[in-house]
Amino acid sequence: MTRTIVESKTKTAIIGFDQPFCVIGERINPTGRKILAEELERDDFSRVEADALAQVAAGANILDVNSGAVFSNKMAEDPRYADNNFVEPMLMKALVERVQAIVDVPLCIDSSVPGALENGLAAAEGRPLLNSVTGEEERLELVLPLVKKYNVPVVAISNDDTGISEDPDVRFEVAKKIVQRAADFGIPAHDIVVDPLVMPIGAMATAGLQVFTLVRRLRDELGVNTTCGASNISFGLPNRHGINNAFLPMAMAAGMTSAIMNPVGLPIGASKIAEKRAEAAAAGIIVPDEMDDETFVQMFGLGSTLPRAGKEMEAIRAANFLTDNDPHGTDWIRFNKVAPKAGQEGRGRDGRSGGRRRRG
């Protein structure tokens, strides 16, 4: 069976058809996150560290580290800060060092800038995943030598110099081309993780069917592992979690072995809690004054005031169990075990010390 090995200094993540689905946490990415980008420009990595810890706690097996930023506030002192080719290499090194200092999961080095990819590979401990190479000739010539030099696996995105095709057969041929070109560099197919490019279902009604068919072909004909940006399928639609929750197990059944995604369910904010408390009061529901916000949101099924595993992670764990990639349901049971309240540790389900009593 095809297995892609990704390693940190102390841990190994295996992407494979006979393995639990591999979750690659996507949160460490300043692209489109204005506050994070501004913090990084000030050398403030506190949000990066918090995102790293939260994603690992939620179940991420690998953390994607993306350095896609320009530092516009520093442009006055040096116009090069407006250039990704200047900013990303030094930022990537700093991000990798910060993240691996506080978590021990393997990393995915993610950038469109070759200098950033090399800096990330040089700074990473173990055997990271490289994200990414495409079928574009220039990109192949820049990235594949790095993959060979550092002996790492790589994400191969199914677009080339003609762009992203809506025809899944064309995307398959691009993936095949990348696998063949990688072989010319001595890079085996088990070190290629193909991203078949998931299209938004709201823009293309056949997007789901296309990707399922394409993933099966990639598994059966090329024998490669696959990944995707999981949330792309629901882009622009209401209740995106509902669509994602259906998409991920279906993709897994088709043969997809990993996804780049957010494993964290974001916490409920103060305004939402206040709104729900007002609704409860208006309905005549008496809430004790001493009830804390976390107990309140749990009681009303709102979620949590703390970052925790999102609904997508629930769907993935269930699918792992159903496909016999979670022997005896060990992970599923652990995931659904309710944590004891303070002062109740070591007590039975009825709150008494010692659990069940033997009958006389």
Round to whole Å and give the CA distance between 180 and 203. Answer: 32
Task: Find out whether 139 and 113 touch, Cβ atoms under 8 Å.
Answer: no
Question: CB of 101 within 8 A of CB of 118?
Answer: no
Lowest mean pLDDT among 95-109, 271-285, 300-314: 300-314
Q: Residue 325 and residue 21: Cα distance in Å, rounded?
A: 8
pLDDT at 229: 97
Q: Provide CB contacts within 8 A for 99, sequence distance 6+.
A: 28, 48, 49, 52, 63, 65, 107
Mean pLDDT of 105-114: 97
Q: Taking all residues of the chain, what is their mean pLDDT, rounded to a whole number?
A: 91
Give the mean pLDDT of 41-51: 96
- 194 — phi, psi (to 5°)? -85, 130
**pLDDT on residue 223:** 97
The predicted pLDDT at position 80 comes to 86
Q: How far apart are CA 247 and CA 83, in angstroms?
A: 37
Pairing of strands 225-226, 3-7: unpaired
> Where do the DSSP E strands lie in the chain?
3-7, 12-16, 22-28, 62-66, 107-110, 129-134, 154-157, 192-195, 225-226, 258-261, 264-265, 308-309
Percent of the chain's residues with pLDDT above 90: 77
Average pLDDT over residues 217-238: 97
pTM of the model: 0.88
10 Å Cβ neighbour count for 180?
A: 11
The residue-averaged pLDDT of 49-66 equals 97
Q: State the DSSP code for 237.
A: -
Q: Is the pLDDT of residue 139 over 50?
A: yes
Positive or negative, the Cα torsion across 333, 334, 336, 341?
A: positive
Residue-level pLDDT at 338: 60
- Surface-to-core class of residue 92, CB atoms within 10 Å of its CB (0-12 exposed, 13-18 middle, 19+ buried): buried
Q: How confident is the model at residue 348 (pLDDT cuts 50, 70, 90)?
A: very low
> Do 140 and 164 touch, CB atoms closer than 8 A?
no
Helix then strand count (H, E) for the chain reads 12, 12
Query: Residue 302 — pLDDT band, cuts 50, 70, 90?
Result: confident
Tokens of 229: 């940006």
Compute, in degrees rounded to 10, the torsion defined by CA atoms 54, 58, 59, 64: -40
